[in-house]
Amino acid sequence: MTVISTEGEAKSSGESVLRLVWRVSILVLVALVVFLAWLVRTGELYASNSDFAYYIGLVGGLLMLALLLYPLRKRIPSWERLGKMESWFKYHMVAGIVGPLLVLFHSTFRTGSLNGAAALYSMLLVAISGVMGRFIYRRIHRGLYGKKLTLEDVAVLMAECAIHVRSIYALQPDIEPRLKAFRDMAFDQTGSTLYRVWRFMTLHWKSRRLSREVRADAKNGLVRQFKEQGGSRRDVIMNYRLAKDQIDRYLDSIVMASQLSVWELLFSYWHIIHIPFLYLLVFSGVVHVVAVHMY
C-alpha cells in the first residue's frame, strides 16, 4: 500500500490530487461542524437539559478522562503489552479533539452555572495546551510519530545536506555566499534577547524566502546552460527538481539545527504547564458531574 505524505513536496501528480482531496475533505468537515454548532447554539436541534445533550456530554467527559491513560501507559512498565506507544498517542490525539467537541455540543456553547463554566474553561485550556504541545512536538521529532531528534542527528543531517547542495554552486556565483550568510545568521548568538527571539520566530519564513530566491537563480542557471550547451528539456526539468530539493533540505536542516535546543526547552516548559491543566480539568469535571446529579 502506498503511503501518501502530507509533508514536503508532492512526489507525483497522483499524490498532489490526493493531498488536495484530503484538504478539501478537512475543510468540508470543519464547515459542517461549524454549521452544526450554529444550529445547536440557536436551539434548533436540542436543549442543553435534554437527554441527548446529557449523553453526548457523558461520552465527551469519559473521553477527556481517558486522556490520562496515555501518560499512565508511558510510566507503567506492565502496560507495555497493551499496544505500541504510537497507537496510544494516536488515541490520545483523537480523544483530545473529539472529547472537547462533544462537551462543547453538550453545553450548547453556553455556560449556565459556575461549576459548568469552570469545567468548560478548564477543558478549553487543556485543548489549547494540547494543540500547542503537538506543534512543539513536531519540531523535535522525526515525522508524526518518529523518534526524538538529538543535536547529533541534526548535525549529521545538516552536514549531508551541505555536501549535496554544493552541486548547485556553479549555477550562480552568489548562491554559496548567500547560503553561508544565512547559516551564520541562524547560529549567531550575539545581539539582544529581543533580537534573538525575533530571529527565532522569523527564521523559517526567512529560509522560505531565501529558498525561493536561490531556486529562481538555479533555474536561470540551468536554462542558461541549456542554451549554451544544448541537451534535452527533460534533463533541465529533472536537474531543477533535484536542485530545488537540495536547497530546501539544506535550509530546513539549518533551521532545525539552530532551533532544536530552544524547541526542547519550550517542550519541557509545556509539560510543566500542561499536566496541572489536565488535573484541573479532571477535578472540575468531577465537581460538575456531582453538582448536576445532586441538584
Q: Which three cell numbers stand for residue 53?
A: 445533550
Q: Which three cell numbers stand for residue 218?
A: 538555479
Cβ(290)–Cβ(112) below 8 Å = no
User: pLDDT tens digits for 151-193?
Assistant: 888 889 899 999 988 888 888 888 999 999 999 999 998 888 8
Phi and psi torsions of 144, nearest 5°: -75, -40
Confidence category of residue 285, pLDDT binned at 50, 70, 90: confident
Percent of the chain residues past pLDDT 70, beyond the cut: 91
Q: How many angstroms separate the CA atoms of 233 and 184, rounded?
A: 36
Cβ(66)–Cβ(95) below 8 Å = yes
pLDDT at 286 over 90: no
Cβ(142)–Cβ(241) below 8 Å = no
The DSSP call for residue 141 is B
Q: How far is CA 91 from the centre of its chain?
A: 16
Domain 151-262: assigned CATH number? 1.10.132
By C-alpha distance, which of 222, 120, 217 is closest to 177?
217
pLDDT at 239 over 50: yes
- Lowest average pLDDT, out of 2-11, 84-93, 122-131, goes to 2-11
pLDDT at 114 over 90: no
Q: Residues 270-276: contacts with CB within 8 Å, 24+ apart?
A: 270/129, 270/132, 270/133, 270/136, 271/133, 273/129, 274/126, 274/129, 274/130, 274/133, 275/71
Q: How many angstroms separate the CA atoms of 93 and 125, rounded?
A: 15
Confidence category of residue 146, pLDDT binned at 50, 70, 90: low
Q: Residues 279-285: contacts with CB within 8 Å, 24+ apart?
A: 280/122, 280/125, 280/126, 281/64, 281/119, 281/122, 281/123, 281/125, 281/126, 282/65, 282/68, 284/115, 284/118, 284/119, 284/122, 285/61, 285/64, 285/65, 285/119, 285/122, 285/123
Q: How many angstroms separate the CA atoms of 40 and 44, rounded?
A: 6
Top mean-pLDDT range of 111-120, 123-132, 138-147, 251-260: 251-260
Q: Which three cell numbers stand for residue 151?
A: 543535536
Q: How many angstroms separate the CA atoms of 272 and 279, rounded?
A: 12
Cβ(262)–Cβ(189) below 8 Å = no
Q: How many angstroms separate the CA atoms of 133 and 255, rounded?
A: 19
Domain(s) of CATH 1.10.132: residues in the chain: 151-262
By C-alpha distance, which of 243, 251, 278 is closest to 66?
278
Phi and psi torsions of 108, nearest 5°: 50, 30
Cβ(257)–Cβ(228) below 8 Å = no
β-bridge mates for residue 219, sequence order: none
- In which element (H, E) is residue 196 found? helix 193-229
